[in-house]
A and B are shown apart, each in its own frame.
Chain A
């Protein structure tokens, strides 16, 4: 048997197989370049040089993580003294005050109490002065409660009564015709009498003096008027007869 025909089908396919697998043009030339580039990069940058870490980093890492965990855990939080925050503001203000004290050195050297004196036994007499004044206040307020008359403006009271009387007179004449004139006059008289009773003697004397003056000046004027009237109305014939 011929060894060349042992596998005839395979022999037939191998020729085709050689033509079935193709590659890009200039592949092997490019391949050489690619492999050289890769070799260059791997030679220039080692994995160890890319990222550095501090010395003993990984040894300390565990401890650091545990510390963070314990801080976040409330049971292990730091403790402050009782009432610390309540007293904190007071403590701060005390420190501020102390600093302010240091900020006014001249003021601090001045004797505060120097210079202002008081008379001897001043405070003993002060109590008496004030007690006297409070007693006077007491008396005035008692008198105000008891008294029915205001003794000071008597004349004003009299004037008020006269005004009331006048008002009554006007009312009766204008609004109320049932009251007779006689009754009105009687009422007016009684009001005037009341007013006069309230007045003191001195006021009455002054008033009468003024009235006298007015009356005399009126009568003087009246006399003058009468004279003139007579002279104007006199008949010349009568005058001639008289003469």
Chain B
């Protein structure tokens, strides 16, 4: 179900003379949420900056194809999630990271100027990085962004039951990792 404001944005986007205005409204409304969603997945600010920009550029190019079958926020989140995963895979490929991905990424995070977390925060991120890709996304969306399972279901196109199971497994694994490594 589309929000009234989103319907207005989509209408304005159809006309050439109001396209930029519409997109400005869209960015104003969603840029922070998209950025933080991306940041939680890719960790470093510079990576998050790149991915966020890519997300909105893709949204700009494809918004005319959006049929309103889900919330605009879900559609944007889906793009952001896919872009984040693609970006992470590219980093791994460029740096030939095969085995211990979590150690490499945590090292990268600790070198990031815009990360000032303590040892426990780094351990938490390392625990999250050890999760399989889908579980990591589910955990991040639930734990950090406090999305409802229904919202996550729309973004990830997965059933609520599967998401709950996924989160449960993720939280248990993280808890065990923290218990053994702090």
Which residues of A pack against B, CB within 8 Å?
Answer: 93, 96, 100, 103-107, 110, 112, 114-119, 122-123, 126-127, 129-131, 133-134, 137
Contacts and interface: CB of A to CB of B under 8 A. Distances in A.
Nearest to B16: A138
Nearest to B125: A115
A51 B118 CA distance: 81
Contacts of A137: 57, 60-61
Nearest to B114: A117
B67 interface: no
Given A106-B175, A117-B114, A133-B53, 18 more contacts: A93-B164, A96-B164, A100-B168, A103-B171, A103-B172, A106-B178, A107-B171, A107-B175, A110-B124, A112-B144, A114-B118, A115-B115, A115-B118, A116-B39, A123-B32, A123-B35, A126-B31, A127-B31
Nearest to B109: A115
A206 to B, nearest CB: 38
Nearest to B40: A116
A134 B117 CA distance: 35
A134 B32 CA distance: 19
A112 B164 contact: no
13 contacts: A104-B174, A106-B179, A110-B124, A112-B144, A117-B115, A117-B116, A118-B45, A123-B31, A127-B27, A130-B53, A130-B57, A134-B23, A134-B57
A133 B121 CA distance: 35
A131 B24 contact: yes
Contacts of B52: 126
Contacts of B32: 123
Contacts of A129: 53
Contact residues of B: prevailing secondary structure:
helix
A117 B144 CA distance: 15
Contacts of B115: 115-117
B28 interface: yes
Closest 9 CB pairs of A and B: A115-B117, A115-B121, A104-B175, A106-B178, A117-B114, A134-B60, A130-B56, A104-B171, A127-B27
A107 B39 CA distance: 19
B60 to A, nearest CB: 5
B24 to A, nearest CB: 7
Contacts of A100: 168, 171
Nearest to B139: A107
A96 B45 CA distance: 35
Contacts of B179: 106
A114 B144 CA distance: 11
A122 B182 CA distance: 34
B20 A134 contact: yes
A106 B123 CA distance: 12
